[in-house]
């Protein structure tokens, strides 16, 4: 219900207006289109009415009385009317912004349509963890179109205590906002991550020396025979309830020690070794077919003699597809591969006893690459050995007897095996076939 008014709106006048059964609208006498709406509940809010360039009547709510003064509301109303006179539509612009996607919406789409389709499982897990713990809490409520370089810089600085993680967060944001441009959530060329300087990272280059490999080999043999000693703090009150010192040993399964050996002999990643199935191994061709890799494509790994020996030493259950199975509680339980957490825990004890506490399992892969380089291999051979670049698969049964990667793999495998067993490395001689078909 509209009321005629010949007075300018003031605080006292607005508060004197009585609510009715229907909303009461009172316009200001001095500024055309500016007014106040009084709801039956008594709630009062300021607005301005104007016509857009198409001639349509539009209402722009300014704010509630009490939170906005009459003078503040009148100033905003003048600004809205001036914008409308320039051919703009402030009410429509506000609605567009209100319904515009937030960064949280962008992250949901980024994870679903990009990360889960294009990234490896391990990368997916790391990106999702970063988004959940850091990026979404910091930026999720902001509109995609409104995020500035300062917003991203603030997030990057907040994570700078862990430089690599800060840079990874910046990379994730950069990709997400690049996709936002592709998905018409932001104008082209407005990625807010541009020109933000990355943190300096310390690249860790750690590989095992021959002496360290010898100690590791001795510990692996001890782990699966007499067992490894527990780490016990005798000063703790509960230590007196533990078994006697002669019984404080843990014997590890052959599966556990085989993981370490296969990492060294194949140069594979831990996830590739733990997920290995028997149907991926071709003993005749001397290859392992990795169907899922970090590169996103199937890849073939050549087996050297020590790696074959490890695989042949493992017991095989006809009902278990896994080369390195985890514990099975009963016959009713399904077989599962050895869990990463269980292997990580075992490695902590193994490396401690071998006195190589700073060595991660991924450093075993670094060891393979380092030994390959020390053996005289060029960068291309080391790349192919570790599969850093995509390798086109030519078939599971291709004869690679003269393949230089296979020769290199045999040489590296023998050197590592010799160190693990504490013996001099034997000379690996490649025998060429004299058969001609």
Distance CA 109, CA 132 (A): 14
Residue 251's alpha-carbon distances to 227, 232, 360, in angstroms, are 4, 16, 21
What's the chain's average pLDDT? 85
Secondary structure letter of residue 186 according to DSSP: S
Q: What is the pLDDT of residue 293?
A: 75
Instruction: Check residues 70 and 2 and name the one with the higher pLDDT.
Output: 70
| Cα–Cα dist 343/350, whole Å | 10
- Residue with the two structure tokens 């050996």: 261
Q: Where are the beta strands (DSSP E) in 270-404?
A: 281-282, 287-290, 299-302
C-alpha–C-alpha distance, residues 63 and 73, integer Å = 7
Q: At what angle do helices 70-85 and 90-99 cross, to 10 degrees?
A: 100
Q: What pLDDT, on the 0 to 100 scale, is given for residue 330? A: 66
Q: What percent of the chain has pLDDT over 70?
A: 84
> Strands across the sheet with 34-38, in order?
2-3, 24-27, 34-38, 44-51, 57-64
Domains and CATH numbers, the chain: 2-97 (3.30.160.390), 103-182 (1.10.150), 210-421 (1.10.443.10)
Mean pLDDT within 207-219: 92
Check whether 241 has a pLDDT greater than 60: no
Asked whether residue 366 carries a pLDDT value surpassing 70, the answer given is: yes
What residues pair up with 102 in beta bridges, in sequence order?
143
pLDDT at 431 over 70: no
Q: Give whichever of 255-269, 287-301, 404-418 has the largest mean pLDDT.
A: 255-269
Mean pLDDT comparison of 104-113, 262-271, 292-301, 363-372, highest-scoring range: 104-113
Which whole number is the average pLDDT over 313-341?
A: 84
Structure tokens at 77: 């109303």
Q: Is the dihedral of CA 61, 62, 64, 65 positive or negative?
A: negative
Rounded distance, CA 52 to CA 60, Å?
11
State the average pLDDT over residues 85-111.
91
Phi-psi region of 256 (alpha: psi -120 to 50; beta: other; left: phi over 0): alpha
Q: What is the pLDDT of residue 149?
A: 96
User: What pLDDT score does 96 carry?
Assistant: 79
Query: Helix, strand, or coil here: 325?
Result: strand
Residue 391: is its pLDDT beyond 50?
Answer: no
Long-range contacts of 20-25 (CB under 8 A, 24+ apart): 25/1
pLDDT in tens, 172-193: 999 999 999 999 999 999 999 9
Kindly indicate the confidence band of residue 231, based on its pLDDT and cuts at 50, 70 and 90. Answer: confident
Rounding to the nearest 10 degrees, give the CA dihedral for residues 74, 80, 86, 89: -160
Give the span between the Cα atoms of 324 and 304, in whole angstroms: 19
Is pTM beyond 0.75 here? no
- As a whole number of Å, the end-to-end CA separation of the chain is 101
Contact 183, 386 (CB under 8 A): no
pLDDT for 348 beyond 60: yes
Q: Taking 50 as the threshold, does the pLDDT of residue 392 lie above it?
A: no
Higher pLDDT, 143 or 318: 143
pLDDT higher than 60, residue 436: no
pLDDT 10s digits, 5-24:
678 999 999 999 999 999 99
Residues 6+ apart with CB under 8 A from 34: 9, 27, 28, 46, 47, 48, 73, 74, 77
Beta-carbon count within 10 A of 369 CB: 19
């Amino acid at each position: 219900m509209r009321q005629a008014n010949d007075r300018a709106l003031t605080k006292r006048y607005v508060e004197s207006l009585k609510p009715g059964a229907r909303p009461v609208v009172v316009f200001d006498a001095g500024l055309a289109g500016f007014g106040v709406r009084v709801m039956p509940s008594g709630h009062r809010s300021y607005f301005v009415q104007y016509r857009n360039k198409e001639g349509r009547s539009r209402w722009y709510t300014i704010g509630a009385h009490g939170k906005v003064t009459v003078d503040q509301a009148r100033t905003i109303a003048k600004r809205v009317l001036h914008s409308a006179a320039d051919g703009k539509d402030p009410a429509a612009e506000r609605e567009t912004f209100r319904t515009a996607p937030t960064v949280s919406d962008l992250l949901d789409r980024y994870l679903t349509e990009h990360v889960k389709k294009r990234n490896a499982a391990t990368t997916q897990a790391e990106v999702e963890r970063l988004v959940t713990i850091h990026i979404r809490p910091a930026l999720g409520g902001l509109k995609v179109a409104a995020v500035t370089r300062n917003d991203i810089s603030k997030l990057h600085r907040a994570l700078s205590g862990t430089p690599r993680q800060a840079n990874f967060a910046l990379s994730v944001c950069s990709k997400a906002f690049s996709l936002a441009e592709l998905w018409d959530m932001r104008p082209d060329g407005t990625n807010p991550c541009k020109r933000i300087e990355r943190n300096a990272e310390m690249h860790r280059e750690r590989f095992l020396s021959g002496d360290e490999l010898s100690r590791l080999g001795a510990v692996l043999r001890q782990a699966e025979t007499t067992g490894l000693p527990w780490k016990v703090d005798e000063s703790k009150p509960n230590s007196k309830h533990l078994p006697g010192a002669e019984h404080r040993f843990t014997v590890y399964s052959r599966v556990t020690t085989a993981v370490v050996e296969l990492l060294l002999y194949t140069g594979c990643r831990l996830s590739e070794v733990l997920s290995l199935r028997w149907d991926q191994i071709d003993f005749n061709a001397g290859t392992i077919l990795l169907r899922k890799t970090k590169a996103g494509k199937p890849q073939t790994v050549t087996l050297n003699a020590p790696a074959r020996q490890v695989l042949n030493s493992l017991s095989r259950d006809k009902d278990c597809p896994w080369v390195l199975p985890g514990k099975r509680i009963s016959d009713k339980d399904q077989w599962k591969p050895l869990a990463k957490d269980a292997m990580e825990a075992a490695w902590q004890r193994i490396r401690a006893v071998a006195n190589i506490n700073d060595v991660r399992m991924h450093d075993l892969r670094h060891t393979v690459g380092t030994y390959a380089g020390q053996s005289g291999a060029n960068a291309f051979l080391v790349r192919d050995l570790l599969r850093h670049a995509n390798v086109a698969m030519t078939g599971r049964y291709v004869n690679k007897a003269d393949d230089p990667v296979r020769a290199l793999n045999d040489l590296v495998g023998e050197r590592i095996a010799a160190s693990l067993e504490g013996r001099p490395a034997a000379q690996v001689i490649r025998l060429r076939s004299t058969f001609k078909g």
